[in-house]
A and B are shown apart, each in its own frame.
Chain A
Amino acid sequence: QQPVQSPQAVILREGEDAVINCSSSKALYSVHWYRQKHGEAPVFLMILLKGGEQKGHDKISASFNEKKQQSSLYLTASQLSYSGTYFCGTEERYNQGGKLIFGQGTELSVKP
């Protein structure tokens, strides 16, 4: 069953912050985050594992609450380059990321 992402779309001004949520009805082993720019392939951002710590690089970070089967992606001080569609992918057991179920995506637009 697909995880549910919220919001479906968000518009920001440069420098503003955003949070994208991913929620599953099933117990999860891991949550993966990807970003897809228009007309391009999805690109890996990060993986959060059950029992692991919050991750991040640069101004993009994420958390995973395994008890609630929820993950959140945090984008701080957004830049124009952050625009795109963000997908979470969930795994119920370790499969080297090979069996991901993706959410429907959250479209993020950053305006000057």
Chain B
Amino acid sequence: EAQVTQNPRYLITVTGKKLTVTCSQNMNHEYMSWYRQDPGLGLRQIYYSMNVEVTDKGDVPEGYKVSRKEKRNFPLILESPSPNQTSLYFCASSTPGGEQFFGPGTRLTVL
């Protein structure tokens, strides 16, 4: 089944404790993205990647890192999480035609 998977789905952590949210797609898509979703603000892009080892900032990259060492994986790293990074996070991959497939989401709470 074609899909984007994210782990973990739910995470509660404390300020400053490094964490990684994994994202994997099995559709051989070149483009992958990370978004955060907050009430009233819609989906805001954090980072995107055009292919292996090629990444670029989206609209809200501060406090986040990404890497793309393999085509299928695009992990999101929070080196020192803060409470304002409490949010719902979505990973997505895009077909060449531009259709984005979203993962199920990761709900992160930073205390």
A→B interface (CB under 8 Å): 2, 30, 32, 34, 40-44, 47, 87, 89, 91, 95-105
Contacts and interface: CB of A to CB of B under 8 A. Distances in A.
A47 B97 contact: yes
B100 A100 contact: yes
Interface residues of B, number: 30
Interface of B: 30-33, 35, 40-45, 48-50, 56, 58-59, 90, 94-105
8 contacts: A34-B100, A41-B90, A42-B90, A44-B99, A96-B98, A97-B97, A98-B33, A102-B45
Report whether over half of chain B's contact residues are helix, strand or loop; otherwise say mixed.
strand
B104 A41 contact: yes
A49 to B, nearest CB: 9
B100 A44 contact: yes
B5 to A, nearest CB: 11
Nearest to A32: B98
Given A97-B100, A102-B45, 6 more contacts: A47-B97, A96-B95, A98-B32, A100-B100, A102-B42, A104-B40
